[in-house]
Each structure stands twice: as structure tokens, then as C-alpha cells.
Chains A and B, each alone.
Chain A
């Protein structure tokens, strides 16, 4: 390999749509991009060596080498070795292993019923299917939103943030941690793990304003929350975690999007504060994907060359 491919291709501008238009016009199934690998990969159950044209709905399965997809949307997607994904013009469904955006543009990932969508064009992140029903998300740049199967926001993740997400039973209760604040007569809380702001209703909340609290309740999907909040949560119990108002750095961490407070102490989902929202459990991870540096693009001093 003469030049690291990920850097070669990171230089590619958004001209792919124009290039692919002709092919798309001729094929019964639209062309959505190209796929390349150093070695062979499986495309729609056929073994392909080197590179191929991607059609809408194609399934790419990698073997020992990762594969790289340049998509008509301008997004660049890397599928790690031993992974499988189905690709569409606007999204990818990760079926096994790991995938990574380099220029997410408007392209989103789906994994185990979760939708992970970029908020900025140059966002990059990695998504991996972990054990059980877990989905790991590590954001390298930009920011991403995570939605559950019903399109409900369950997490916001900014650069440097790593989350483990696991869909629960649909009626799972909501559990969030953050500093309770009062804004224009509405109680708001930004969860430290998911960075999602919710409006709270319930008895006795006024006593906890300014305190870091852990609240449990149910999300009222039919209710319209105040504009700053994503959801309205009816609180069944609230537990004060700090002794004084605005105590500790956790509240700030929650607003800043970086792992902090209880969430920052652990290295796995069991050692961190677990939030549950929209039927999805979420935990911040520090020793997870972001720290692993297994894929390039994380700013490591000597990134591992992509094999393709």
C-alpha cells in the first residue's frame, strides 16, 4: 500500500454524486457509491476482490480486511474486518461488527433498532455491535443524535464522547441524572450520560432545584414538552445526590457533553451511571471505543493503516 487509503479518500470532495449519476441513470437499481478493500470482501453474497460499484440495498460483508465505501451522499464509511452492513443511499444498517463514518454528511447508521445520525457534515464516529444487545458509539468529531426505534431522541453525543446503548423493554421506566433547574416555570434536567434535556413534572421538585438528582419516572410521549426539552418525564421518585446546590462537577459535565462525575469513573457499562430513556439504557464509557484507537481518525499519533 503506497498511501494510507483513509487519508487518500478523506481528500475526496463531494463530487461523487455527479460521478454516479450516469451509472445510476442506467441501472435498474440506483448506484449509491463504490466499495474498495485491500483484499476480498463479499458483496451480495458474491466474493469480490479489490473494488466494486455499490447499488442501493447492497450488503457488504468484510473478511480479514476492512472495506471502504465512498457514497454518493458524500459520506465515507469504513466497515471494519469481520463486519456486515446493508447500504442504502442515505443510511447503513449495521448487521455485524463495526462501522465508522469519516464524513458523515447526512448519512446515518442504524444498529439494533437505534438510529445514529450526524448533526454536522464533517462528523465522524464509530459504531459497533457489542455483546448482548449493546451498541457502542464513539464520536471522534462533530456531534451525533441517537434515536430509538420510534424516532425518539435518546442521546446526544459530541466529539470525544463514548456511549454504550442497549434497547430495553419498550415500557422501561425512565431514569436520568443531572442538575435540576427551573426555567420559566418549567423544571428541566439535562442527563449527564445522554446529554438529553427533559422537562420534569411531579410533586416536590421545587425542593431539588439546583441540586444534582437522580430521577425515575415515565416518559409521556403524548405530551409536548417546553421548547428546550426533548421529552416530558413524569417523575415518580427523585433522589438528591449532592449535599449542596450545584455541587460537584457533574452538572457541568452534563452540559458540556464530556464524561464526568459518576459516569467518568468507570470503564464499562456496569461501572458508570446508567441512564434509561425512550426504552434505551445508556452509559458513558471512557475505556471503550474512544480510548481503544483501533480505527484511524481518532487523532492517535500513529494511526493504524487501513488495510484494504
Chain B
């Protein structure tokens, strides 16, 4: 028993002595490192033994920059080999030092210890810079896959820029990401920001049929129209609007003429811009415009972009107005006004013969105060709008 007690006491004393020794060494290291020289920091590191302090390594790297890579390598290999960030750092450093093989090993090690997005993204960048497409695509796809919970679609743009550098063809690019559906939408946004309309159109057309894509396709159609490409917007609009298809080439360019859906202000739909003194109320199949007399002298109350092929058109619509003899309300095409709509408290049909305009045009319902009148207080109800092409009468028929 005594022997056991003595042994335990001795062991305890040894442990205490060892702990004291370690403490002394650490204190000495702390003291020596304050000399702030390469030698002193190296000596401090030696005194630290198997548990070197990171700040000592950092200071050594500060004082001895050429050793920075060596120091980092030591840290990630010996101190914290599970540090993906450390391996990435070492990889980038090796790459910058012109040692791509070592860089690749470090970055692959990062991906081995860290299965998250960052190593995959870094490797995709690395292989891009190295001009290694096969490896690039592998890691780019993995990065895209791992980005699902991490990045917004718009934040995939840098990855897509790399992809685009290797493969500018949209179909072939997207073929790499067949298992990552969100890439198509992100790619569409990416191409739109670059104003690469043709490529974006191809991508967008590939998104039709999936109703969840409709808002994006409508938005893209709107962008196409504003970019002056109404013909490209037509198939997108027809696929995504949920409204009866328009067919400008067949002389049917008006959308939502039956007013079955509230105007969205997008693409080929009706636009109802906010105007002081005018209240717009949509009801299924009908639009009510209340004019309270405080509206501007001239303003656009309702508008739609139409794509007109070379032919004559006539707008027909049903409407009612208030009791005033002069409504001040006109239809116009690109600002060219037709006759004032006659006042009618009974539902009646109105007609507006469109001026000859080809291509994209704005069909507008405007209010303009007529000379000699005050600004109208009025209510106009409009429904059942049809924009029809008028058969051309041959010149010989006219003469006859």
C-alpha cells in the first residue's frame, strides 16, 4: 500500500514538474518572441514543442516572407490538416508560385477534407485558369450542385462567366448542368445582364412548358421588347402569359383584348400607368377608368405594345361613357390620335382605324382636354377589344 502511495505521489510530483516545465517553456517562448526577430521567433517555436502557437507562425511569416509558403504548408500538414481553408490557401499560393501540380494537390486535399461549396468553387476556378476543361466542368458542376442552399441564382454569375469562357454555346453549356435545373434560370439572367439576346432567347425557349418559369419568361419577353426585339418576345409571351396566343404575322397582335386578366404592365399585356386624377379598376372582362377632373391636360390612361406587320388595322371595342358631350378620350398609335370617342351612356361599339405603322408600336388610350372645354370628370368602361387586320382593297376595285 505504501509502495502504491509512494508511486502515486511520485507520479503526481512528476506530472506537476512536467506541467511546470511546460509552463516555463511557454512563458519563455512568450518572452523570447517579443524580441521580434526571425531567430527569436524560431526559438520560441522550438520551445513551443509539439503545440506551436499560430501567432508565432504568423509572425515568423511576417518577418521571413520567403518562408511563408513553407510555414503555411507546415501548419496545414502538421497542425490542422482538416482545414479546408488552409489547403485552399496553400493551393492558391502554390499556383501563384508557378507550381500548379502542387496547387492542384492542395486544392484536391481541400476538397477531400471539406465537401462543401468553397473547395469545389476554388477548383473550378483553378482549372479554368489552368485551361483544363474536363476537370473544370467536373468541379463547376459540383460547385453548382453544392451551391443550392448557399447562393442566390444571381450569385452564380461568376461561375457562369467561367463556364462561358470555355463554352459560349448555350445549349452545350447547359448540357453540362443537366442535373442542376436552376442553372438554366441563372444562365438566362447572366446572359441578360450581358445583353446577349440571341443566346438568352435560346435558353429561354428551353424553359417553356414549366409553369414555374413563366414569371421569368414574361420578364425576359418584356426585356426583349424594350431591347427592340418584339418578334423574339412573341413566342415567349405566348408560352408563358396564359392568355390566348397573339400572332402578329397573321394580323392578330392584340393581347388580353377580352380583359379576362388584370393588366400586368409587362411585355404585350396592357399597361396602366399611375396618373394623378385617374383611377383604374379592372373587373373580369372590363376596365373602368374614373377621371376626376384633376388629371393632366394630356395623359396616357391605358397602353399596350403591339407588333404590327405591314397591313391595315382597325381596333374595335365596346364602351360606355358619362353624360358629357365631349369625353376628351382618344385612341392613339405612337401618339397619332384618332377621333374622340363619342359619349354614350349605352354600351356601344367604337372603332379606331390605326395609322399605318409597321413593327413595334404603342397602342394608347389617352385623355386630352379639348380646346374650349374644362377637364372632364368622367367614367369610361371598356371591354371586348379586337384589333383586326382590314383586307386591302385592290386599287382597281377602288377605281371601279
Contact = CB atoms under 8 A, between A and B. Distances in A.
Interface of A: 1-5, 7-13, 15-16, 18-20, 22-23, 25-29, 31, 34, 36, 43-53, 55, 70, 301, 303, 305
A51 B128 contact: no
B96 A15 contact: yes
A52 B126 CA distance: 9
Contact of B125 (A1, A16, A51, A301): A51
Interface of B is mostly: helix
B157 A3 contact: no
Given A22-B129, A27-B165, 11 more contacts: A1-B54, A2-B89, A3-B61, A7-B65, A8-B69, A22-B131, A25-B131, A28-B164, A43-B158, A45-B154, A50-B88
10 contacts: A8-B93, A10-B65, A13-B98, A16-B96, A19-B98, A23-B165, A26-B166, A27-B165, A43-B158, A51-B125
A32 B92 CA distance: 15
B69 A19 contact: no
B151 interface: yes
B76 interface: yes
A2 B110 CA distance: 15
A120 to B, nearest CB: 18
A36 to B, nearest CB: 7
Interface string B153-166: 01111100110111
B72 A49 contact: no
B187 interface: no
Contacts of B121: 49-51
A11 B165 contact: no
B16 interface: no
Contacts of A301: 36
B89 A8 contact: yes
B54 A2 contact: yes
B122 interface: yes
Contacts of A53: 125, 128-129, 158, 162
B58 A305 contact: yes
Contact of A3 (B75, B129, B158, B164): B75
Interface in B122-168: 122, 125, 128-131, 150-152, 154-158, 161-162, 164-166, 168
Given A2-B75, A20-B129, A23-B131, A51 B166 contact: no
Interface residues on B, range: 35 or more
B35 to A, nearest CB: 11
A2 B72 contact: yes
A50 B122 CA distance: 8
Contact of A36 (B61, B65, B92, B100): B92
B151 A47 contact: yes
B43 interface: no
A36 B67 CA distance: 21
Nearest to B151: A47
Contacts of A52: 125, 158
Contacts of A25: 131
A46 B165 contact: no
A7 B129 contact: no
Interface stretch (B79-87, B226-234, B283-291, B371-379): B79-87
